[in-house]
Amino acid sequence: MRLVYQYLTFSALVCLGTSSTVLPLVEDISSVNLESWKRATAQAPKGYAPGSVDCPSTRPSIRVANGLSDQEKSWLEKRRGNTIAPMRELLTRLNITGFDAGKYIDEHRDNMTTIPNIAIAFSGGGYRAMTNGGGGLAAFDSRTPNSTNTGQIGGLLQSATYIAGLSGGGWLVGSVYSNNFTSVQSIVNQNNHGDLWQLGNSILEGPATGGIQLLSTAEYYNNLYKTVISKQDAGFNFNVSLTDYWGRALSFQLVNVSEGGPGYTFSSIQDDNDFKNGNVPMPILVADERAPGEVIVSLNTTVFEFNPWEMGSFDPTLYGFAPLKYIGSNFTRGQLPNNQGCISGFDNVGFIMGTSSSLFNQAILQLDSFSGVPDLVKNALKGVLDGLGADSNDIADYTPNPFYHFHNSTNPSAQAERLTLVDGGEDLQNLPLNPLIQPVRNVDVIFAVDSSADTVPPTESAQNWPNGTALVATYERSTNASMQNGTAFPSIPDQNTFVNLGLNNRPTFFGCNASNLTGPAPLIVYLPNSPYVYNSNTSTLQMDYNNTERNAMIQNGYNVVTQGNGTRDAQWPTCVGCAILSRSFNRTGATVPDVCQQCFKKYCWDGTVNSTKPAPYFPQMILKEIKVKSGVDRFAPSFLGIALAIAASGFLMI
């Protein structure tokens, strides 16, 4: 069936204050790349239910995490070379006075070890993180109209090797990649009911009928039930958790295909031509391991990553990776026994995004308070709770455990037939940095967009702004000899220092002096959520946004990473270029340009600490405020129920 999309200009949806702070937008349908909406192939053999498939000639197995996978190594040979042209264009445009960036790249392009290796990370924080991070992604993307003009940093995405997200940031990354690496610009340009990121209806209510979504509310609930129960009834002893329902619900908003693409898998990204040919960065989603009922902290948690080829961890506890396409198979001691066949389809893209954001499983429990929810759905949810226990509300169930009897002496789940994973922010590492600081990936610089809600009651400050907690957690973990496994991370001050020095309200570079680090740590460009044109500190639990509010959040995120298109600091784009080149300068012995020295003096944390209790933090609007009507009021009762449930578990800061 041919689908016709109605494209509306973003400027018609949001009244913006000044042209200098406007997200550049498409004004004509002819300039929209309709090819970006081409669908990937649904690779699950039986829709949402995993099913038997022929095993490849080399039977899948669990590999030891003593390096990168062969697939990633092969892909990197293509991707790193493909970053040279966009990086050269970007660095040349960023106007590093007294430095010929084009000549520098040309001189070193035959030695990829000297070329900057860039990564981007998007924090958790529900739809706040997805939309604020989405604005940042739009600013990094050269496909966004005018993002390559003076004062802009478009092309950074095209120059990056890796892009990671967790929880709400994982929705951003997962949604973009499950829709063939579409752009945020394309998403805001289409506004039919049922299209991508149509958040006006709470996820608990289901999408408005229209566009490609043809289900009424009652049919929506029945669809959730039927697809999830098909996994339980598939005949392979798969367990169902609340994450299955949460992931399926997410898919209706984040996967632009009828019924949220129940057959779409995360591993299918590896077969997308643009990704396979190294034309786009490698996506990574992050989750934490936790046995039901256990309390986790950043110092002892095994951090899992999902990439198009694998799931697993470099952490010394697990130190292994499973082939993502076949994780429903019965692996034992790292091997698939000859009497066991291959199973695929377990890695449904919504389930993977739901795993990374399983804290929001609490939202599904609120369905009981909605009218029109069929009894069979309510009974199914009750059955899940009865089967797993109330202390397992937030888990994603991976049965069979791919790492059963793998590394028995260190793997905390080695003896369990079930692997249970939870929201990637539950260990306070709400920025997905762990996969990006692994020495084998040789990342030079990470642009970390932090939309965390660190300021929560009983603080006297404004709520839901970041204060560096995510960076502190990763730094503290890097000092734990039993878990850091050779990773290094720049020194990070305490949260009070972040607030007292204003590091929570503007970009800051951490790790500028590589000689002071304990290992090959990347430079961290910290980009905290701040109110440029909109109070983007919406609640993590806000489950619906009308389009004008959504767009204002995206607009604000665009301004966060560009500092208002350079209006807050005209030198900022140049400083972005200097950050990209910093580690490369170290390796080549190049003289650091004077303008970069100025940037580092301005943006590098110099080690100053002020741990005294800060004054209450109430940030002021930096540019002219966008005025929009919020869409939060209609579902306030459900927010309260979710808030109380999550508060009881102690995780309200993501």
pLDDT at 494 over 90: yes
- Token pair, residue 32, equals 């929209």
* pLDDT of the residue at 541: 84
pLDDT at 9 over 60: no
* pLDDT of the residue at 291: 78
Taking the CB of residue 339, how many other CB atoms lie within 10 A of it? Answer: 6
pLDDT at 388 over 70: no
pLDDT at 626 over 80: yes
* pLDDT of the residue at 568: 95
Instruction: Go through the domains of the chain in sequence order and give each one's CATH number.
Output: 10-649 (3.40.1090.10)
Per-residue model confidence as pLDDT tens digits over 496-550: 999 999 999 999 999 998 777 767 899 999 999 999 999 999 999 888 899 999 9
Mean pLDDT of the chain: 86
Note the pTM of the prediction, 2 decimals. 0.90
* pLDDT of the residue at 176: 96
CA 477/CA 251 separation, integer angstroms:
33
Taking the CB of residue 387, how many other CB atoms lie within 10 A of it? Answer: 12
Q: What is the mean pLDDT of residues 32-45?
A: 49
Q: At what angle do helices 168-178 and 349-356 cross, to 10 degrees?
A: 160
Q: What is the mean pLDDT of residues 41-61?
A: 88
- Token pair, residue 227, equals 């697809």
Per-residue model confidence as pLDDT tens digits over 409-429: 999 999 999 999 999 999 999
SS3 content of the chain, % helix, strand, coil (to 5): 40, 10, 50
- Contact between 578 and 595 (Cβ < 8 Å): yes
Percent of the chain with pLDDT over 70: 85
CA 117/CA 80 separation, integer angstroms:
8
Per-residue model confidence as pLDDT tens digits over 538-577: 999 888 899 999 999 999 999 999 999 999 999 999 999 9
Q: What is the mean pLDDT of residues 286-305?
A: 83
Grade residue 651 by pLDDT with cuts at 50, 70 and 90: very low
Per-residue model confidence as pLDDT tens digits over 301-350: 999 999 999 999 999 999 999 999 999 999 999 999 999 999 999 999 99
Grade residue 297 by pLDDT with cuts at 50, 70 and 90: low
Strand pairing partners for 343? 52
Burial of 488 (0-12, 13-18, 19+ CB in 10 A): middle
CA distances from residue 509 to 197, 293, 501 in whole angstroms, order as listed: 32, 38, 13
CA 447/CA 382 separation, integer angstroms:
42
Residue corresponding to tokens 């590394």: 407
CA 278/CA 297 separation, integer angstroms:
36
* pLDDT of the residue at 543: 86
Question: Could you tell me how far CA 148 lies from the centroid of its own chain?
Answer: 24
Per-residue model confidence as pLDDT tens digits over 213-261: 566 777 888 888 899 999 999 989 899 988 999 999 999 999 988 888 9
* pLDDT of the residue at 385: 65
